[in-house]
Amino acid sequence: MVNRVPNIDGGYSRKGVLKDKPRSMLKSWKMILLYLKNHKAVFLFSMFMVGVESLLTVFAPNYISEITDLISDGLYSGVIDLEKVSYYGLIILGLYLFGTIAMFLRNYLMADLSQHVAREMRNDMQEKMDRLPLKFFDTCRKGDVMSRFTNDADTVASALNRSMAVFVHGIVLLVLCSAMMLLTDVTLSAVCMITVFAGMGLSSIVVKRTQKYYRSQQRNLGRMYGFISELYSAHDIAMAYSASRLNKKEFDSVNEELRASGFRSEITMGLLPAVMRFFGNLGYIAVCIVGSVMVLEGSITIGTVVAFIFFVKIYMGPLDMISSSLGNIQAAGAGAERIRDFLSAEEMDPEKEGVTAGSVRGSVEFRNVCFGYLEGEETLKNLTFSVKPGQKIAIVGHTGAGKTTIVNLLMRFYEIGSGEITIDGISIGDMSRRYLRSLFCIVLQDSWLFDGTLRENIAYCSDAGDAEILEACRSVGLDRLVESLPDGLDTRIRSGTGFSGGQKQQICIARALLDKSPMLILDEATSSVDTRTEVLIQNAIDRLAAGRTSFVIAHRLSTVRNADLILVIRDGSVVQMGTHSSLLEKDGEYRRIYRSQFDPLRSFTVKYQVLLTGSVPA
Residue 358 lies in a domain: no
**Looking at residues 319-336, what average pLDDT do you find?**
77
pLDDT of residue 601: 45
Domain end residue (candidates: 309, 343, 377): 343
- Nearest CA-CA partner of 121 in 142, 141, 150, 100: 150
Q: Are residues 376 and 470 in the same domain?
A: no
Residue 6 lies in a domain: no
Out of 116-130, 174-188, 277-291, 543-557, the most confident range is 116-130
Q: Does the pLDDT at position 88 exceed 60?
A: yes
Q: Are residues 272 and 333 in the same domain?
A: yes
Q: Are residues 493 and 536 in the same domain?
A: no
- 617 contacts: CB under 8 Å, gap ≥ 6: 592, 605, 606, 609
Contact 12, 5 (CB under 8 A): yes
CA dist 292 and 302 (Å) reads: 8
pLDDT of residue 233: 64
State the DSSP H helix or E strand holding residue 239, giving kind and residue range, or none if neither.
Answer: helix 235-240
- Nearest CA-CA partner of 354 in 254, 429, 285: 429
Contact 401, 567 (CB under 8 A): no
Provide the pairing of β-strand 519-523 with 549-553: parallel
Domain end residue (candidates: 487, 506, 525): 506
> Greater confidence, 15 or 136?
136
Q: Does the pLDDT at position 460 exceed 90?
A: no
> Greater confidence, 400 or 553?
553
Alpha-carbon distances, residue 293 vs 297, 298, 431 (angstroms): 6, 9, 86
**Looking at residues 456-479, what average pLDDT do you find?**
84
Q: Which range marks the domain in which residue 371 is found?
A: 364-439+517-586
Q: Are residues 280 and 381 in the same domain?
A: no
Q: Residues 500-530: pLDDT tens digits?
A: 777 887 888 888 888 878 898 888 766 666 6
Domain end residue (candidates: 463, 481, 506): 506
At residue 440, φ and ψ (nearest 5 deg) are: -120, 145
CA dist 298 and 317 (Å) reads: 30
Q: Are residues 71 and 142 in the same domain?
A: yes
Q: Which of 314-323, 421-430, 475-484 is the least confident region?
A: 314-323
Q: Are residues 99 and 243 in the same domain?
A: yes
State the DSSP H helix or E strand holding residue 329, giving kind and residue range, or none if neither.
Answer: helix 302-343
- Nearest CA-CA partner of 68 in 55, 81, 59: 81
CA dist 383 and 277 (Å) reads: 73
Residue 612 lies in a domain: no
Q: Does the pLDDT at position 609 exceed 60?
A: no
pLDDT of residue 20: 42
Q: Are residues 459 and 551 in the same domain?
A: no
Contact 441, 359 (CB under 8 A): no
Contact 364, 421 (CB under 8 A): yes
CATH number of the domain enclosing 125: 1.20.1560.10
CATH number of the domain enclosing 383: 3.40.50.300
Q: How confident is the model at residue 6 (pLDDT cuts 50, 70, 90)?
A: very low
DSSP letter at 432 equals: -
pLDDT of residue 613: 52
Q: Which amino acid is at 377?
A: E
At residue 484, φ and ψ (nearest 5 deg) are: -80, -15
Residue 352 lies in a domain: no
Measured between its terminal Cα atoms, the distance across the chain in Å is: 45
Q: Are residues 421 and 491 in the same domain?
A: no
Q: Does the pLDDT at position 603 exceed 70?
A: no
Burial 253-287 (b: 16+ CB within 10 A, else e): ebeebbeebbebbeebbebbbebbeebbebbbebb
- Using CA atoms in the order 153, 16, 238, 246, what is the torsion angle rounded to 10 degrees? -120
Q: Are residues 167 and 212 in the same domain?
A: yes
Q: Are residues 245 and 379 in the same domain?
A: no
Q: Which of 98-102, 250-254, 433-437, 532-536 is the least confident region?
A: 532-536
Q: Does the pLDDT at position 128 exceed 60?
A: yes
Residue 348 lies in a domain: no
| Polymer length in residues for the chain | 618
Q: Are residues 474 and 524 in the same domain?
A: no
Residue 27 lies in a domain: yes
Percent residues over pLDDT 70 in the chain: 85
Q: Does the pLDDT at position 216 exceed 50?
A: yes
pLDDT of residue 420: 93
Mean confidence (pLDDT) of the chain = 79
Q: How confident is the model at residue 364 (pLDDT cuts 50, 70, 90)?
A: very high
Residue 200 lies in a domain: yes
The domain tally of the chain equals: 3
pLDDT of residue 124: 92
Alpha-carbon distances, residue 208 vs 197, 269, 330 (angstroms): 17, 10, 10
Q: Are residues 41 and 129 in the same domain?
A: yes
Burial 437-455 (b: 16+ CB within 10 A, else e): bbbbbbbbbebebeeeebb
Residue 231 lies in a domain: yes
Provide the pairing of β-strand 12-14 with 392-396: unpaired
Q: Does the pLDDT at position 24 exceed 80?
A: no
Contact 229, 142 (CB under 8 A): yes
- Nearest CA-CA partner of 324 in 169, 497, 549: 169
Q: In terms of pTM, does the model score above 0.75?
A: no
**Looking at residues 440-453, what average pLDDT do you find?**
80
